[in-house]
């Protein structure tokens, strides 16, 4: 490295991490060192997770290998535990548990968010989130395996519990995951002559008085009606009070057993910035100025779900969405490079184009620049928008191929839950069982 070269550390390899590293290609060419630290060697395109869960898209098509797209950067697989910004040093836990200290000059905080898990008794033991590709794969296998359990259940209580699927949280993630998985189960159950579709119970529990609040009243009402027409129960103004022993107790007095509990009740900013002494707001998001610099801290930048980014178009803060995170990352990288080179900075200004939401195959809603679409057109816009936004041409082609195959052939209903215990057959063989 030349004298004057900077070591830029990017924490997180999601939308912010990957796109800011891409935006710093020029800085890397000029001799600055760019390092990205992320627990996995891929970036995941979360908006496609519901389709991974339903098996319409292969999981590998929605993750982007960081080393492939960032050849100009060093990619370190690990988790930043804490940052001592005064000393310009990050403590990183490597996959095998080794701790490494990483010195830097400039830090980009892009550690995103995690599921906002509330202290509901039994939730941590029986619930599962919907934030990662692993959770999406798990849920696909879970739903299919419950059909197998139900098919062999003698006890009616056991059958009811196996066929009860509960989602808590009626935002995009919860509605899309439920819509896709119910579609999958509805198709799959045709292969189980002993089970009737009507025996399945799909429930969406939402603490507020409506679902999909970001989409506007009429689209949200339409989505609710379409889901209810499919027999999905939507319980508004209702909370999950406990899930102990996999028996769910709701605030409306209902109590029933459910094998599958999915928690999609919002996200919470990564605790890393707060833990490391960066200024955070009451929700734990890093406070940044209009240029995406951490407020009052030299050499630190932040964006995405982990940051409280002012929305200069309508006031308030930008919502935690991918469309904001990736644009913030590009602006952040441009401003960071401009700072190094002594050029003027530009503020982050982005007016949201709207929202799109799938309700399952061929069904969706979209609000794009005020144009509202329902049913097939809404679903088509949702797909096209995300396909175009998916990083790398190769991934876009793979997804388009997966969709084409899905049009021509029935759904694959093999469940690979045994992937969670790959060593079991070998251990049994070794023990002679």
Ligand X SMILES: Cc1cc2nc3c(=O)[nH]c(=O)nc-3n(C[C@H](O)[C@H](O)[C@H](O)COP(=O)(O)OP(=O)(O)OC[C@H]3O[C@@H](n4cnc5c(N)ncnc54)[C@H](O)[C@@H]3O)c2cc1C
Q: Which residues bind ligand X (CB under 6 A)?
A: 11-17, 37-39, 46-47, 49, 79-80, 110-112, 130-131, 172-173, 270, 272, 304-306, 320-323, 325
Minimum distance, C-beta of residue 305 to ligand X, in the bound complex (Å): 4
> What is the rounded distance in angstroms from the CA atom of residue 260 to the CA atom of residue 283?
29
Residues shown for the chain: 433
Minimum distance, C-beta of residue 359 to ligand X, in the bound complex (Å): 13
Task: Give the closest residue to 301 by CA, choosing from 102, 20, 13, 14.
Answer: 20
Minimum distance, C-beta of residue 408 to ligand X, in the bound complex (Å): 26
Minimum distance, C-beta of residue 363 to ligand X, in the bound complex (Å): 15
If phi > 0 it is left, if psi is from -120 to 50 it is alpha, else beta; for residue 289 that is beta
Specify the residue, 35 or 321, whose C-beta has the smaller distance to ligand X.
321
Minimum distance, C-beta of residue 352 to ligand X, in the bound complex (Å): 9
Minimum distance, C-beta of residue 306 to ligand X, in the bound complex (Å): 6
Closest CB to ligand X belongs to which residue? 14
Specify the residue, 61 or 162, whose C-beta has the smaller distance to ligand X.
61
If phi > 0 it is left, if psi is from -120 to 50 it is alpha, else beta; for residue 361 that is beta
Specify the residue, 110 or 122, whose C-beta has the smaller distance to ligand X.
110
Decide if 219 contacts 365 (C-beta within 8 A).
Answer: yes
Specify the residue, 79 or 311, whose C-beta has the smaller distance to ligand X.
79
Specify the residue, 144 or 306, whose C-beta has the smaller distance to ligand X.
306
Burial of 14 (0-12, 13-18, 19+ CB in 10 A): buried
Tell me the residue ranges of DSSP E strands in 156-299.
164-168, 201-205, 233-235, 240-242, 247-250, 255-257, 260-263, 267-269, 286-287
Minimum distance, C-beta of residue 220 to ligand X, in the bound complex (Å): 15
Taking residue 68's Cβ as centre, other Cβ atoms within 10 Å add up to: 12
Per-residue CA distances from 164 to 95, 143, 229, 373, 403 (Å): 37, 10, 18, 31, 28
Minimum distance, C-beta of residue 160 to ligand X, in the bound complex (Å): 28
Minimum distance, C-beta of residue 354 to ligand X, in the bound complex (Å): 10
Longest dimension (CA), the chain: 74
Specify the residue, 83 or 163, whose C-beta has the smaller distance to ligand X.
83
Specify the residue, 150 or 171, whose C-beta has the smaller distance to ligand X.
171
> What is the rounded distance in angstroms from the CA atom of residue 280 to the CA atom of residue 269?
10
Decide if 53 contacts 180 (C-beta within 8 A).
Answer: yes
Phi, psi (deg, nearest 5) at residue 71: -65, -20
Specify the residue, 106 or 162, whose C-beta has the smaller distance to ligand X.
106
Specify the residue, 42 or 222, whose C-beta has the smaller distance to ligand X.
42
Phi, psi (deg, nearest 5) at residue 176: -65, -45
């Amino acid at each position: 490295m030349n004298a004057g070269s900077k070591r830029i550390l990017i924490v997180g390899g999601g939308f912010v991490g990957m796109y800011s590293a891409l935006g710093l290609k020029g800085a890397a060419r000029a001799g600055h060192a760019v390092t990205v630290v992320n627990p996995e060697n891929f970036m995941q395109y979360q908006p496609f997770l519901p389709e991974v869960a339903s098996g319409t898209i292969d999981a590998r098509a929605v993750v982007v290998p960081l080393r492939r797209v960032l050849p100009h950067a060093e990619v370190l697989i690990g988790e930043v535990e804490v940052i001592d910004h005064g000393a310009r040093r990050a403590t990183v836990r490597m996959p095998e548990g080794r701790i490494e200290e990483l010195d830097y000059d400039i830090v980009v905080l892009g550690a995103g968010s995690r599921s906002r898990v509330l202290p509901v008794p039994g939730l941590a033991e029986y619930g599962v989130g919907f934030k990662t590709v692993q959770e999406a794969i798990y849920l696909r296998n879970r739903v299919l395996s419950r059909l197998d359990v139900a098919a062999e259940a003698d006890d009616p209580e056991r059958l009811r519990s196996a066929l009860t699927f509960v989602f808590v949280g009626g935002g995009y993630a919860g509605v899309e995951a439920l819509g896709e998985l119910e579609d999958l189960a509805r198709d799959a159950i045709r292969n189980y002559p002993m089970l009737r579709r009507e025996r399945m119970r799909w429930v969406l529990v939402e603490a507020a008085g409506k679902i999909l609040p970001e989409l506007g009243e009429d689209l949200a009402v339409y989505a609710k009606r379409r889901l209810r027409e499919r027999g999905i129960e939507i319980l508004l103004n209702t909370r999950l009070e406990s899930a102990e022993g996999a028996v769910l107790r709701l605030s409306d007095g209902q109590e029933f057993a459910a094998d599958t509990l999915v928690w999609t009740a919002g996200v919470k900013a990564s605790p890393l910035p707060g833990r490391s002494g960066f200024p955070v707001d009451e929700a734990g998001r890093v406070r940044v100025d209009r240029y995406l610099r951490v407020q009052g801290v030299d050499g630190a930048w932040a964006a995405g779900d982990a940051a409280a980014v002012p929305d200069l178009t309508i006031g308030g803060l930008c919502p935690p969405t991918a469309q904001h995170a990736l644009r913030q990352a590009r602006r952040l990288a441009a401003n960071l490079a401009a700072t190094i080179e002594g050029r003027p900075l530009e503020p982050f200004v982005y007016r949201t184009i709207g929202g799109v939401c799938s309700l399952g195959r061929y069904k969706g809603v979209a609000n794009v620049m005020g144009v509202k679409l329902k049913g097939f057109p809404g679903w088509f816009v949702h797909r096209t928008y995300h396909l175009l936004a998916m990083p790398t041409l190769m991934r876009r082609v793979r997804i388009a191929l997966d969709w084409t195959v899905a049009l021509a052939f029935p759904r694959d209903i093999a469940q690979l839950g045994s992937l969670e215990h790959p060593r079991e057959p070998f251990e049994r063989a070794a023990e002679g069982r």
